Structure 1
Amino acid sequence: MAEDISNGAAAPQDQQAQGAQFNVQKIYLKDVSFEAPNAPQIFSEQAQPQLQLNLAQKVNNLGGDAYEVMLTLTLTCTAGDKNAYLVEVTQAGIFTLAGFDARMLDAMLGTQCPNVLFPYARQAISDLVQGGGFPPFFLQPINFDMLYAENLRRRAGQQQVDESQQPPAGNA
C-alpha cells in the first residue's frame, strides 16, 4: 500500500494540470558594495549607532516566461555624525513563471521572488558587516506581501490622480 506523503503540497502533476509553473533557475549576487569611510577611528566611537535600510526591487523580462528579479538592500550605519559603514547588496535571480494571468504574475514577481532572494541578501549583508570589523547585524524578516499590497494601493492612488488631471473627453 503506497502512501501519499506530500505535506499538503500540490504534486507537480497537479501544478502542470492547472497550467501555472514557478521555477527558480539561478540565484546570484549581481552587485556588492561595502564602505567604512571613517575606519579605524569609528571603532572607538561611543555613540549609539543608527541604522537605515532602503529596499528596491526591479524586474526584467528576459523573454518568454523568464524573468530576472533584482532585490537591492542598502544599509547605512551612522554613529553620531559619522558614517560607520554603508553596505549595498543586489541579490538577483532568474525565475520561470508560466501560466499566470497578469494580476497573479505581478503578485508572484512582487512577493514570491523577493521572498526567495531575501535570505541570500540578508546573509551577504551580515557577512560584509562582520567582515568589515563591526558587530554582527541580523536583518529582520521583511513582509513582502505587505509591501506589495502597499505598492498596489499607491499605484491605484496614482492612477486616480492621473485620471483626474486629464481633460474630459469631447472638450477640444
Structure 2
Amino acid sequence: MAEEQGTAETEATQANGADNLPQVSIISQYVKDLSFENPNAPAVYQWQGQPQIDVQFNIGPQKIADDVFEVMLKIDVRAEAADKVAFQVELAYAGLFGLRNVPEEQLQPFLLAEAPRILFPFARRILADAVRDGGFPPLMLEPIDFGALYMSQLQAQGDQLAEIETAGQA
C-alpha cells in the first residue's frame, strides 16, 4: 500500500511540473580552434623514417549559464623527424552540455570524464582528416579512458593532500 501511495505521489509531482530527476543533454558540439602547420613542405615528403609523434590533451570545463556547461577538449599533436617538425596540429573541440538536477558531487566526474568521452570520437576524426588533408597518413589516436584518467588524477590529488597534511603535522 505504501508503495502504491509513493508511486501516486511521484506521478502527481511530475504531472504538476516538479521535475527533479537528473537530466543531461548535448546542446551542441563545435570546433573552437583548428590549426595545422606543415613548416617543412615540400621537403618533408622526401624524409625517410617514421616521425616521433607527441600528443597532449587538456580538458577545460566552464559554466556558461545556469545548467549549461562548455567542455573543451584541447588536443595538441606534434610530429618530428630528423629533428625537424613534420607537422603540428592544434584542435580545440568543445561541446555545450545541459545539466539539470545533477548532484553537485556528480558535476566534476561528468565534466572531466564523461563529457570528454562523448566528444573524443568527433575530435579524433577531425584530427585524422586534418593530418590526411596535410598530405600525411591519417593520424588515428587510440581511444582514451577518460574515466580512468579522472580517477588517477583524484588519487594523485589525494596523495598530494596527504603529504601536505603529514608535513604540516611534523
Partner in structure 1 of residue 146 of structure 2: 144
1:67-109 CA-partner distances (Å, limit 9, x unpaired)? 0100001111111211100101110011011222222111111
Q: Which has the higher Rg, Structure 1 or Structure 2?
A: 2
Q: Where does 1:3-152 land on structure 2 (aligned, <5 Å)?
A: 19-152=21-154
Cα-Cα RMSD: 1.9
1:100-157 CA-partner distances (Å, limit 9, x unpaired)? 2222111111111101111111011011101101112111111111111111112212
Partner in structure 1 of residue 8 of structure 2: none
Report deviation, 1:25. 0.5
Percent of aligned positions that are identical: 36
> SS of 1:62's equivalent?
strand
Q: Name whichever of 100-109 and 52-61 sits farther off.
A: 100-109
Report deviation, 1:166. 4.6
TM-score normalized by the length of structure 2: 0.83
> SS of 1:128's equivalent?
helix
Rounded to whole Å, the distance in 1 between the matches of 2:115 and 2:41 is: 36
Amino acid at match of 1:146: A
Partner in structure 1 of residue 10 of structure 2: none
Q: Which runs of 5+ in 1 are unaligned?
A: 1-12
> SS of 1:118's equivalent?
helix
Q: Which runs of 5+ in 2 are unaligned?
A: 1-13
Rounded to whole Å, the distance in 1 between the matches of 2:43 and 2:50 is: 15
1:46-66 CA-partner distances (Å, limit 9, x unpaired)? 022111110000011112111
Bigger helix share: 2
TM-score normalized by the length of structure 1: 0.82
Amino acid at match of 1:122: R
